[in-house]
Amino acid sequence: MVTARQADGASRAGVQVIERGARILHALAEEPGGLSLSQIAARAGLARSTVHRLVTALQDERLVAPATTNGRFRLGPAVAMLGMAAQREITLQFHQYLLRLSRELDETVDLAVLDHDRVLFVDQVSAPRRLQAVSAVGSSFPAYCTANGKALLARLPAAKVLDLLPERLEPMTPNTITRRSELLEELERIRSTGIAFDREEHTLGICAVGAAIGEADIQVGALSVPMPAPRFYGNEQRLVAALRATCDDIDASLAQPAQPAVADRAGRRRRSVGT
């Protein structure tokens, strides 16, 4: 007969195995070229024997795969499949909010996720305008010069941003921030306001406002509203207010998935627009 203490101990052991497996997957995610068992152990803070046992189990589930013939390992194909399923779920869950925001502003609205140092567009609602900004779903842009990309980068620790981006950033337009130190300063401002801007930094003539959704430690994605520059300048306050309201509604739905998405906007996202 299993006692309550034994059952509780088994439960804790199961949670520990999952947590250790997650640390291994996170370590491999940061090194596309693969890691040896010793390197995984060092990065995950685990004993090599533990890593060997868990990597073997993860290989059986195709979550880990050999990277080379010299003993390195990388993320397996099952991780990509899970990622694709997660993107589909994100699209289904949030499309109604994109549609509502697009109708309110009469502008295109994008949903994007962070893919290493780029933003990947996973959903979009286009506005019925003759002149509009449209990026195809499935395309990706550099994160450092886009509103949604900067909003997502601002959710990362500064050390992670340093790992992702070089000191000198490629200028996409004359307005692109090209020094990493200057970008870090802007990311601090975005952290304080929750709002990011692209003022013709990726494409001349196109501006955007963006904001991340989800809690700081749960990276979900970012909404952005791109448009021709003449419709952007002078309308920032209205765009920010509508974007904030939508992101607050999404955050409320994530916090209470079983309840209607009713936003408690007071105090959730700061009201200053930022510059």
Q: What is the CATH number of the domain that holds 99?
A: 3.30.450.40
Ranges of beta strands (E only) in 76-220 are 109-115, 118-125, 140-142, 196-199, 206-213
The CA distance from 274 to 240, in Å, is: 10
Rounded alpha-carbon distances, angstroms, from residue 188 to 40, 159, 176, 194, 208: 32, 13, 17, 10, 19
Residue 260 has a pLDDT of 44
Instruction: Say if residue 9 is in the same domain as residue 140.
Output: no
Q: Which two tokens stand for residue 254?
A: 């994530």
Structural domain includes residue 96: yes
Instruction: Say if residue 66 is in the same domain as residue 91.
Output: no
Instruction: Supply the pTM of this predicted model.
Output: 0.66
**Angle separating helix axes 236-255 and 77-105, nearest 10 degrees:** 130
Helix or strand holding residue 49 (H, E): helix 48-60
The radius of gyration of the chain from alpha carbons, rounded to an integer in Å, stands at 21
Structural domain includes residue 45: yes
Instruction: Say if residue 43 is in the same domain as residue 166.
Output: no
Instruction: Say if residue 102 is in the same domain as residue 214.
Output: yes
- Nearest residue to 265 via CA among 248, 241, 246, 242: 248
Instruction: For 216-275, write each residue's pLDDT tens digit.
Output: 555 678 999 999 999 999 999 999 999 999 999 988 887 764 444 444 443 444 444 444
Q: Which two tokens stand for residue 236?
A: 């920032």
Kindly give, in sequence order, each residue whose CB lies less than 8 Å from that of residue 139, ignoring residues fewer than 6 positions away.
120, 121
Structural domain includes residue 104: yes
Instruction: Say if residue 45 is in the same domain as residue 137.
Output: no
Instruction: Say if residue 172 is in the same domain as residue 249.
Output: yes
Q: Which two tokens stand for residue 212?
A: 């991340």
Q: Where are the alpha helices (DSSP H) in 194-271?
A: 229-232, 236-255
Instruction: Say if residue 134 is in the same domain as residue 222.
Output: yes
Instruction: Say if residue 19 is in the same domain as residue 135.
Output: no
Instruction: Say if residue 19 is in the same domain as residue 124.
Output: no
Instruction: Say if residue 222 is in the same domain as residue 91.
Output: yes
Domain boundary among 75, 92, 111: 75
The CA distance from 69 to 95, in Å, is: 44
The CATH number given to whatever domain includes residue 56 is 1.10.10.10
Instruction: Say if residue 172 is in the same domain as residue 207.
Output: yes
> Structural domain tally of the chain?
2
Instruction: For 113-160, write each residue's pLDDT tens digit.
Output: 888 899 988 889 988 776 666 677 778 899 999 999 999 999 998 888
Structural domain includes residue 68: yes
Torsion angle of the four alpha carbons 14, 18, 23, 28, in this order, in degrees rounded to the nearest 10: 140
Structural domain includes residue 222: yes
Write out the residue range of the structural domain in which residue 148 sits: 80-255
- Confidence check: pLDDT of 191 > 80: yes
Q: Which two tokens stand for residue 157?
A: 């620790």
Q: Give 200 or 221, the one with higher predicted confidence.
A: 200
Helix or strand holding residue 224 (H, E): strand 221-228
Instruction: Say if residue 37 is in the same domain as residue 90.
Output: no
Structural domain includes residue 265: no
Instruction: For 56-66, write each residue's pLDDT tens digit.
Output: 988 888 888 88
CB 69 within 8 A of CB 92: no
